[in-house]
Chains A and B, each alone.
Chain A
């Protein structure tokens, strides 16, 4: 209760978010962490800053933020928009579609929703209003499309989610897995928004005249911006560089293109652009580093296990759990900014989803991130709404009303993503097996994991994620299990788990065992009843 009062008081006076998180964390350490004195409490809050030095993947954040800033100031975003407009502006609602696809293309490189909204929205919103599209439609569309930045790799939120759960015992995913899994949901959302634009465009809005010459000219100018997402994607996919190093490739590429080819980024402008990116980093990193302390406290007081017990006692099942989590995350997303919400809640919820409800961690990660995307749009605390209100000089009330259709479409799409895990797992499954028949990923209606647990190296599904728990289980002599040879080549007639590898029951056994092992450590009878 004290923590809630502290948060409310600080929020009411408009204290910066890093102060709210820091103060709440300090109070929480004092109440639950058993710190001996005031300075020890301070140390608990600030010393986890050292974690920043331990994870290379953090480098992706400044590098992609810098890339986005260079692309905006160096004219690459404008060229991307021009090309999309030349390509689609002649269709009913074509300018809206151009805005959506330009947002996707730009977000694919900048990795940030607000940056995308500023870069593309500031060009497309006046153009759409000028072409007699309804003002609220135009406003809502650029805000919603800008929030697609959450889902298009290399998104900051996808990266931050992977980092946030990386220390969790169960439910961790890699950045690459999240990036690959997000392609289909991002594409589906873009398609839905394009269809919406089409129907609005049938009622009104001017169209551009199609011209191959214009497509060629704008395509030639925009070729460098269009090529970057492919370079990043194939560079990572072919194993040339790690995702965080892709940030350095994108950074250097955009630097060369903006300064030497587009010639719009002289030294003075470059320094101004990078110092702005640094300011944004400063706003983000303080919050990120402070949440490390909060995560440590959660681990120390075993909040995840307590929350798990609470949720298991409620006997929600995977459907009830996911719906409850969605409502919770939408509320959280509306009240907190997405980065801090991800850092605080992902490490708590992901292990519960994986361990107790059999939900694939990659699937859960995507559902979580789509919720965060909705958070960017959900009043009263919605980053994109604030940005749009300031950028387009519109009242906050109008901005909030304008985003409602887009918000409704996004929520509708999210419901599909939740209950059809293939939307997120299909591509990783296909990539992993190379077999189109393996694309389908059923929903774990009965709370049992349906993915493959003992995947090959680099498996993009549950296998690589529950590896730690599975290894623990393998070390436990009290558990019946297959040898690795038996698992891959069959055998073990007297072994009840001797099944085809594809059915992955051996892995389920291992996960079961790991869960039971955890429960046994807890000495908690209620949790012993949990079946995976």
Chain B
């Protein structure tokens, strides 16, 4: 039986640059995740006063108690733990209900209109998440593309074609970077806030992420173009839209 030869191990070129790129991608992921969490919770916080601002119904407390009780008894029990007995379970559910109700009551009493700015700030976060996400997608080489194009080329020509595609994309991102800088400068000159209700946050801050993202994407696509042309690109794991 003939054994398949092991593919040669990939040796990274420019290890320092790759390390910096990887570190930047990690920071981007961390920032994005934190913003994502903040955005979701911020919008949720604006929902609470809408639902409970003028509503004081015992049925809500009962529903919370039932949910807490179900939660206590469906909570995953890890090794070495035991499910609480019925009395402890009811006690726990009551405590959760009391704490939850009190928190919501206090919150809607202190902030009956919610936070007017929450929704708009959440939208700013959305733009930041999306643009940094685009930068991460560049790092992961997972931007959507019509892959049929790649399938038409012979193996030998493929590296040149890929390098060309990345070079074109580099050019596009570079132009986008310049235009987005102009956009932000114009917004800064105009000095408008993101919304009349959120005067403390200028519009240009929301879009400041565009020049950043396009700049990083330009550099990353340029690097990918060079590494493709010189056949030093890192092997890409199979891409899965998530």
Binding site for B on A (CB under 8 A): 10-20, 22-23, 39, 42-43, 45-47, 49-50, 52-53, 56, 58-59, 62-63, 66, 69, 114-115, 118, 220-221, 223-224, 240-241, 244-245, 247-249, 251-252, 255, 260-264, 270-287, 335, 337, 380-381, 383, 386-387, 390-391
B169→A247 contact, CB < 8 A:
no
Assuming the contacts A248-B43, A278-B136, A280-B242, asked whether A58 and B144 have C-beta atoms less than 8 A apart, the reply is no
Q: List the count of A-B residue pairs having beta carbons below 8 Å apart.
A: 241
Additional pairs, 11, CB under 8 Å, beyond known A241-B47, A282-B131: A11-B148, A46-B176, A53-B124, A53-B203, A62-B126, A245-B46, A251-B40, A262-B76, A282-B137, A283-B133, A286-B130
B222 contacts chain A at the CB level, 8 A cutoff = no
Contact B76 A13 (CB under 8 A): no
Question: Range of interface residues on chain B?
Answer: 35 or more
Out of A16, A62, A248, A252, which one reaches B144, CB within 8 Å?
Answer: A16
Neighbouring A residues of B50 by C-beta, 8 Å: 240-241, 245
Shortest A250–chain B CB gap in Å is: 9
Contact code string B204-232 (vs A, CB < 8 Å = 1, else 0): 00110010000000000000000000000
Chain B, range 23-73, C-beta contacts under 8 Å to A: 28-30, 32-37, 39-41, 43-44, 46-47, 50-51, 70-71, 73
Q: Is the interface of B mostly helix, strand, loop or mixed?
A: helix
- Given A22-B176, A62-B36, A241-B51, also A47-B123 (CB < 8 A): no
Cα–Cα, bound, A224→B73 (Å): 12
Set of chain B residues within 8 Å of A63, measured between Cβ atoms = 39-40, 43
Most buried by A among B39, B120, B194, B239: B39
Q: Which residues of A contact B4 (CB under 8 A)?
A: none
Question: Is the beta-carbon distance between A13 and B133 smaller than 8 angstroms?
Answer: no
Given A12-B149, A245-B43, the answer on whether A337 and B144 have CB atoms closer than 8 Å is: yes
Please, what's the 1-or-0 string for B178-221, where 1 marks a CB less than 8 Å from any CB in chain A?
A: 11101100000000001000000001001100100000000000
Complex Cα distance, B34 from A14, in Å, reads: 33
Could you list which residues of chain B lie within 8 angstroms of chain A, going by C-beta atoms? 28-30, 32-37, 39-41, 43-44, 46-47, 50-51, 70-71, 73-76, 78, 119-120, 122-124, 126-127, 129-137, 140, 142-150, 152, 161-162, 164-165, 168-169, 172, 175-176, 178-180, 182-183, 194, 203, 206-207, 210, 238-242
28 contacting pairs across A/B (C-beta < 8 A): A12-B152, A14-B145, A43-B182, A46-B210, A53-B120, A62-B39, A62-B129, A66-B36, A115-B241, A118-B240, A241-B51, A245-B43, A245-B47, A248-B47, A252-B41, A255-B40, A263-B76, A275-B29, A278-B130, A281-B126, A281-B129, A282-B129, A282-B137, A283-B133, A283-B137, A287-B144, A386-B147, A390-B239
